[in-house]
Amino acid sequence: MRIKSSELMAVAVKKSQYPPDDMAEIAFAGRSNVGKSSLLNLLTGRKSLARVSGNPGKTRTLNFYLINGEFRIVDLPGYGYAKAAKTVTENWGEMIEGYLKGRQGLKRVALLVDIRHRPSAQDVQMHDWLRHYGLDGLTVATKADKIPRSEAARNIKTIREVLGLGPDEKVIPVSTLKKTGVDELLGEMGMLLEGD
C-alpha cells in the first residue's frame, strides 16, 4: 500500500465528535512519547501532519486522519506518563475505552512499544485488553535507530515474551529518524484493511 493523501478530519474527546462510523480505521496506541504521532507523519510522508513533542502527553485528543480517501488512522493519546494530572488519567481511560469498544469500523489497533525497553505493565494490560476485543495482532517496535542492529533481535524477543505474542504475530521495527519499517508496516496495514 502507498499513502497518497492524508488529512486531519476530526479531533475528538467524546463520541459526538467522532466522524461517522462508516469507514475502516486503524488506531495507534502506546505509552506517551513512544512515537505514535511521529509514525503517522512518517507513514504519510508529512513532517508536521501530527504534532510531535519531546515531552510526553502531547496528543490529548483522538485525532482521525483520512488516508487516501479510503480509511482512517486514529492517533490516540498516550498512557503512562508520570506527570499527568489524575483527572487527565481518568479521562484517558474513558476516552480511549469509549472509542475502542463498539467501534464497528475499527479493524485493528497497532500497539507501539519502545524497542529499547521491556514492555511496561500498562503495555501488557493494553495488549491483553486489545486481545480480549480481538483488536490485537499488530505490534510496532519504535525508535529502532536507538539501538545497534545486533540488539534489536534480542529486544524484540523480550517484547514478544512479555506481551505473550504467538509465533504468527508480527513485531515490526520502525525508525522515524532513519525512515525504516515503513514498507513492512504499510504492507501489513494493507492486508488488514483488505481482509475480514
Ligand X SMILES: Nc1nc2c(ncn2[C@@H]2O[C@H](COP(=O)(O)OP(=O)(O)OP(=O)(O)O)[C@@H](O)[C@H]2O)c(=O)[nH]1
Looking at residue 50, what DSSP letter applies?
A: S
Which residue in 4, 47, 146, 170 binds ligand X (CB under 6 A)?
146
Angle at 32 between CA 155 and CA 108, to 5 degrees: 75
**Closest to Mg ion by CB, 6 or 59:** 59
Using rule CB under 6 A, residue 181 touches ligand X = no
With binding defined as CB under 6 A, does residue 44 bind ligand X?
no
CB of 35 or CB of 137, closer to ligand X: 35
Q: What would the 3-class secondary structure string for 6-36 be?
A: EEEEEEECCHHHCCCCCCCEEEEEEECCCCH
38 binds Mg ion (CB under 5 A): no
Among 176, 182, 188, 189, binds ligand X (CB under 6 A): 176
**How many angstroms separate the first and last alpha carbons of the chain?**
17
- b (16+ CB within 10 A) / e for 128-152: ebbeeeebbbbbbbbbbbebeeeee
* Count of helices and strands (H, E) across the chain: 5, 7
Binder of residue 44, out of ligand X, Mg ion, none (CB less than 5 to 8 A by kind): none
63 binds, among ligand X, Mg ion, none (CB under 5 to 8 A by kind): none
Among 37, 44, 63, 142, binds Mg ion (CB under 5 A): 37
Beta carbon of residue 152, minimum distance to Mg ion (angstroms, whole number):
23
Q: Tell whether residue 155 is a contact of ligand X (CB under 6 A).
A: no
Helices 121-132 and 149-163, axial angle in degrees (round to 10): 60
From the list ligand X, Mg ion, none, pick the one residue 139 interacts with, judged by a Cβ distance below 5 to 8 Å according to partner type.
none
Out of 135, 142, 155, 171, which residue is the one contacting ligand X (CB under 6 A)? Answer: 142
Q: Could you give the angle at which helices 36-44 and 182-194 cross, rounded to 10 degrees?
A: 90
Does residue number 57 form part of the binding site for ligand X (CB under 6 A)? yes
Q: Which residue is nearest to Mg ion (CB)?
A: 59
